[in-house]
Amino acid sequence: MAEILNTASIQSFRTDLAAAFRWAARLNYHEAVANHFSVAVNQDGSQFLINPNQRHFALIKASDLLLLDANDADTLHQPNAPDPTAWGLHGAIHRHCPRARCVLHTHSTFSTVLACLKDPRLPPIDQNAAQFYNRVVYDNAFDGMAFIDEGERYAALLKDSDKNVLLMGNHGLVILGETVADAFNRLFYFERSAETYIRALQTGMELNLLSDEVAEKTAVQWQDYQQSAEAHFAQLKVILEQQEPDYRL
């Protein structure tokens, strides 16, 4: 088993991931008791925290999170085993993509609508969408639920890429981040951008696309504006602390 970071670090990962679940529920990004978020806690990314099987996002506490080893083939046979699709997708990504520190998977409404279009590409129609210009992996080979084989297929798409967004055709979304805050902020902005685009399409009017040059310039500016992710997430935790502090127990 690879070296795990110290106990205090793991507790902060637990707290942040629990906060992400609580906020995802508030934003209606959850789906029933499915969908999963994970965060790596050791240096090679093989040990990770993930939500327990069949637990609603709105109820998850820091201490509920499972600590799994992406290389442990017996994981699904252990007591308190994760959901098989959670293991299939997140286990494969953490096993093959050490850069994937935090992995958020949702079927959030507007991203999923986008993933169901024949052409699912998100065009740079506003400042938010521009941050994803040429920065999304688009998959168009859905082959069933994310058990082992499908999870491996998704992980392979991310393994050889430096992109942090995977739009899963006919399925949903995977977001990667360096921290939980970074990933959650990216999830928020991708879903918001997809909503803006889908609502713009619904007007039936012609879209006013940004030029490639302005889209790329804006995307680079977003990359240099990282403090907003940490500030965003810190504020979300302040609200949780006031309104549902049991998330960090």
- Residue 234 exposed, middle or buried by CB count within 10 Å (0-12, 13-18, 19+): exposed
Cα–Cα distance measured from residue 178 to residue 47, given in angstroms and rounded to the nearest whole number: 15
Q: Which string of x and - marks every residue 84-123 that binds Zn ion (by CB under 5 A)? A: ----------------------------------------
Decide if 93 contacts 155 (C-beta within 8 A).
Answer: yes
Judged by CB under 5 A, the chain residues 187 through 216 that form the site for Zn ion are none
Q: Which string of x and - marks every residue 139-178 that binds Zn ion (by CB under 5 A)? A: ---------------------------------x------
Judged by CB under 5 A, the chain residues 44 through 83 that form the site for Zn ion are none
Contact partners, residue 5, CB within 8 Å, separation at least 6: 41, 42, 43
Q: Shortest CA distance to 61 belongs to which of 103, 106, 9, 22?
A: 22
Which CB atom, from 45 or from 172, has the smaller least distance to Zn ion? 172
Name the pairing type of β-strands 165-168 and 137-139: parallel
Smallest separation, CB 210 to Zn ion (Å)? 31
Smallest separation, CB 173 to Zn ion (Å)? 9
Which CB atom, from 151 or from 172, has the smaller least distance to Zn ion? 172
Which CB atom, from 125 or from 157, has the smaller least distance to Zn ion? 157
Question: Which residue's CB comes closest to Zn ion?
Answer: 172
Smallest separation, CB 146 to Zn ion (Å)? 6
Smallest separation, CB 84 to Zn ion (Å)? 12
Contact partners, residue 121, CB within 8 Å, separation at least 6: 136, 138
Decide if 82 contacts 148 (C-beta within 8 A).
Answer: no
Q: Shortest CA distance to 14 belongs to which of 64, 82, 69, 83?
A: 64
Q: Which SS3 state, helix, strand or coil, does residue 48 take? A: strand
Smallest separation, CB 105 to Zn ion (Å)? 6
Which CB atom, from 25 or from 219, has the smaller least distance to Zn ion? 25
Smallest separation, CB 85 to Zn ion (Å)? 6
Which stretches of the chain bind Zn ion, using CB under 5 A?
172
